[in-house]
Structure 1
């Protein structure tokens, strides 16, 4: 009898693992892919997609069905919905579908790849919404950016720097004012590329305001115009036309019993094989796991390792350790022409960051996730 593998999450990790298993087990395994979004979302390029006329929606969002239809129909099922609860002892997960129904799925193996979301629901950095909601959010953000005189980006991590860089590259020489709020006294919590990133932003006429930790924001309509009132920890308020927060990630782990989660971060605990301890047949990959940190390249390695291990177990073999990246890589695009990056403690020249990431934000990789060559 065919084994059932339920994969929760249709983004980088989930789709990668689905491809890997279906390519090797399209007859003896049934893969059920559950995704809140009906489309695969290349959110790496979302920071550029908010600039009007640069990235088309169809480059960012591709139907998941088009990725799976190459496999025998009986070997997979795509469910558009989200996990509501799980029972690892009973080996079941309950899913709420986009049609409004509820399904309880039984599994032999379960992959937790539901990723994370932004604390703010009004920014398009993650696929936390339905396809239509993401399209609408991107369109609305572009319109607001286009008509704005003042734009404030909050959060001086990689996403905040990339957002500010894209805006600076496009509008830095116009009448738009672009400000990046940094809670500390250095970008990226003082990473060795902080100074290089700050220099690149300066060249794009982006103002960096240090010691500016946001405590709240409020939308206000005055004279028919929408404004954002941002309050900082020191009591200062900033009024802007567009406010784009990039701070923090919230793991999508509410459907998982607390005993399997890290108590502080609410991410999923995994062992070195990326199994969930104490939960038979449950694996995890991507932003939802407790180690080492969220990151696209890290997710790729985890997905490949989990797919390999499930394949081994299905063949009656022992799983192997999931290896991470051999080096610690940080690459931060700063606009469409420059960047800042490092490999371990070695700084990478700006033009190499542009060649490796900033030139395309890896949009050329999207077809590999659709045709399965990524796995």
Structure 2
């Protein structure tokens, strides 16, 4: 019996698991799959900027239990191991797993798929925080802070920061209920390759909602003092000031979940070095998809494209066939939701209409199809056979 081990159960892994189980593992006598992940629920990150706003979306709109999804697979062909990869020995084809229940387990593989994704910095629930329980606990704590706050500060000028500032501005700032600040290091929100016109519209829409923009500034320190958090801010000219808030929401990027991998497999930023056939460099039996890999920026659309490619390529690999090359995405596509009624974005060098992005993304932030994504039956752009 040959074993496919999949590390991760998130955006990149969910469609891959179901489709490889259906098309390959269940149709062959000599294959089984083992999935390793520390989370009991699939986490839908696209909607999190709206979920953090108290009362907007229930937990079950963005977190879906894995057990009912995995239950349909026979035990002799599929196993779910609740734990986190802690070490990888590529020469021995063994991954060591730190089990959630305690102790360690060594798992042998014939083919390994690394889809461990990335974690949000600053202990924020934009991504899974180790376990589902920790993620829910942190989310609810953040919602309580926001609900009772008079002043809210969002820090970090990327997509998550802009969307979160938009949701909070729509809910609180434009009506004067709460002050919402958006601290970002550039002259405008977002950054190239996002078009200048898209960046300007993002700022304009946030200002219309009375979000207080603090440009060319970074948060250098956050100190909790009772219910308040005192932020030390440094401007681009080197000057410093402080800002007191009751809800501090950093959106300062991600760290790849690759600490288990040997240093020789990682690039200088901690991502697994990934070939255009989605294999780990120098390891023909290890595949990498999504945010853990070095090939493309950690974005949901890139993870999806890589996963769809591997769904087709992995059976060829198992049969000893030549692998097709993955085409790296060269067209920049962004959809930025700004509150519950406005949006902006681009496709390549063209700015898109606000209504189009609101209609496609902003109405539901993908929660209308997230259950199907969790079950591996759909991605953002592809629907598989049920």
TM-score band by shorter chain is over 0.9
**TM-score, normalised relative to structure 1:** 0.95
1:207-246 deviation per Cα after TM superposition (whole angstroms, max 9, x unaligned): 111111111211111xxxx111111223211111110000
1:65 aligns with 2:67: yes
Deviates more, 1:301-310 or 1:344-353: 301-310
Report what 1:154 is aligned to: 155
How far apart in 1 are the matches of 2:60 and 2:328?
A: 31
Deviation at 1:326, TM superposition (A): 6.7
**TM-score, normalised relative to structure 2:** 0.92
**Number of equivalent positions:** 368
How far apart in 2 are the matches of 1:248 and 1:44?
A: 14
SS in 1 for 2:142: helix
How far apart in 2 are the matches of 1:129 and 1:227?
A: 27
1:308 aligns with 2:312: yes
**Matching residue within 199, 219, 229 for 2:224:** 219
| 5+ long unaligned stretches in structure 2 | 379-383
How far apart in 2 are the matches of 1:80 and 1:371?
A: 18
SS in 1 for 2:308: helix
How far apart in 2 are the matches of 1:350 and 1:128?
A: 32
How far apart in 2 are the matches of 1:309 and 1:71?
A: 22
RMSD: 1.4
Report what 2:381 is aligned to: none
Report what 2:42 is aligned to: 40
Deviation at 1:324, TM superposition (A): 4.0
How far apart in 2 are the matches of 1:92 and 1:282?
A: 11
How far apart in 1 are the matches of 2:250 and 2:187?
A: 18
1:199 aligns with 2:204: yes
Report what 1:353 is aligned to: 357
How far apart in 2 are the matches of 1:219 and 1:305?
A: 46
1:153-197 deviation per Cα after TM superposition (whole angstroms, max 9, x unaligned): 000110000000010111121320001001121211253110011
Report what 2:245 is aligned to: 240
How far apart in 2 are the matches of 1:327 and 1:249?
A: 22
**Matching residue within 260, 265, 272 for 1:260:** 265
**Matching residue within 53, 78, 81 for 2:80:** 78
Deviation at 1:73, TM superposition (A): 2.3
How far apart in 1 are the matches of 2:22 and 2:39?
A: 23
| 5+ long unaligned stretches in structure 1 | none
Deviates more, 1:361-370 or 1:206-215: 361-370
Deviation at 1:325, TM superposition (A): 4.2
